[in-house]
Amino acid sequence: METSWKHTTVLLNEAVDALFNNPDIEPGKFSDEVPTYVDATFGRGGHSRLILSKLPPQGRLIAFDKDLDALTEAATIGDARFSIRHQGFSHLGELDCASVTGVLLDLGISSPQIDNPARGFSFRFEGPLDMRMDTSRGQSVAQWLATAETTQIAEVIRDYGEERFAGAIAKAIVARRQERGPISTTTELAQLVADTVKTREPGQNPATRTFQALRIFINAELEELQQALEASLHVLQPGGRLVVISFHSLEDRIVKQFIAKHSRDVYDRRAPFAAPKVMQLKALGRVKPGVAEVAGNPRARSAIMRVAQKTAA
């Protein structure tokens, strides 16, 4: 019997309110009177369903997701205004220029992905060491670790997990591969890391950073995020909103720097008398989950939502 894993959407009302409470978007002003929103990470549809409840009859909601289970969930939405693409959000730029009223990016992984042992995302459950968002294509973590060099593994764990014991963990993975064959399960990897990492922050599993790093790498998450952020400048209408929810420092740093970079006029020092390149975004602030939300959903504790608006220039 198939288990239904539950997911609680983080910053649900705050994110959708940030998209819709926008005095600079007048109904019918843009895009042939068809307000179009993008939920670039459908997940289990929490944000999408709330967006649809606020969308006018002529509006459209376009969702993206690589996860086959997300597509199955999306199929239960019987609303002609809604469509979903089996693609990562790096494909956002394929939409028409200035055709979108608001873009929402809810980054990271969903509870059903973490809690389903068959997906291999969690060190808490015995399962295949997979971690792919899209199980229909690409290498699993186990397949990559079976052939990767020590230096490659160390670089991934250090850069994407900010793990100070990355070198030792990489050596242990390769030594284990040479002695007994490749690691194939989540618990094997978790135990190997625990045996290698002798100290860790209180309350944190020694494998946390390694699992995060391998997941981010195998799904090219940070590269895809950078592509989607750049694409948002192309697809957003003047006055349109960009809302991004991140769950760890690497993601949030990219979002913060992107918004900051495009929220100021840029002067070319080589041409001091030339007109500056006008800013393309206006930063509208940062929101974190409240005490009540974190108490009800501990996985929300690390979430940070940043909001920006496309300028009319």
Mean pLDDT computed over every residue of the chain: 90
Residue pLDDT, tens place only, 128-153: 999 999 999 999 999 999 999 999 99
Kindly give the pairing relationship between strand 60-64 and strand 82-85: parallel
How much is the average pLDDT of 108-115? 81
Residue 121: inside a domain, yes or no? no
Is 3 within a domain?
Answer: no
230 lies in the same domain as 208: no
Q: Which of 307, 311, 296 is nearest to 17 (CA)?
A: 307
Q: Are strands 36-39 and 60-64 parallel, antiparallel or unpaired?
A: parallel
Over residues 219-269, the pLDDT tens digits come to 999 999 999 999 999 999 999 999 999 999 999 999 999 999 998 755 556
Task: Tell me, yes or no, whether 148 and 268 share the same domain.
Answer: no
Mean pLDDT of all residues in 287-295: 94
CA distances from 113 to 6, 194, 286 (A): 10, 23, 27
CATH number for the domain spanning 66: value is 3.40.50.150
Side-chain half-sphere of 261: how many Cα atoms within 13 Å?
10
- Chosen domain end from 185, 218, 251: 218
The answer to the question of residue 46 being in a domain is yes
Identify whether 124 is part of a domain: no
Amino acid letter, residue 211: F
In a domain, residue 199? The reply is yes
Q: Residue 36 falls within a domain, yes or no?
A: yes
Last residue of a domain, one of 167, 192, 218: 218
Query: For position 170, which CATH number holds?
Result: 1.10.150.170
Indicate the residue among 218, 233, 261 that finishes a domain. 218
Pair 213, 227 in one domain = no
49-80 per-position pLDDT tens digit: 999 999 999 999 999 999 999 999 999 999 99
Do 259 and 225 share a structural domain? yes
Q: Identify the domain containing residue 200 by its residue range.
A: 134-218
Domain count, the chain: 2
pLDDT value at 107 more than 80: yes
Do 210 and 254 lie in one domain? The reply is: no
Q: Are 267 and 243 in a shared domain?
A: yes
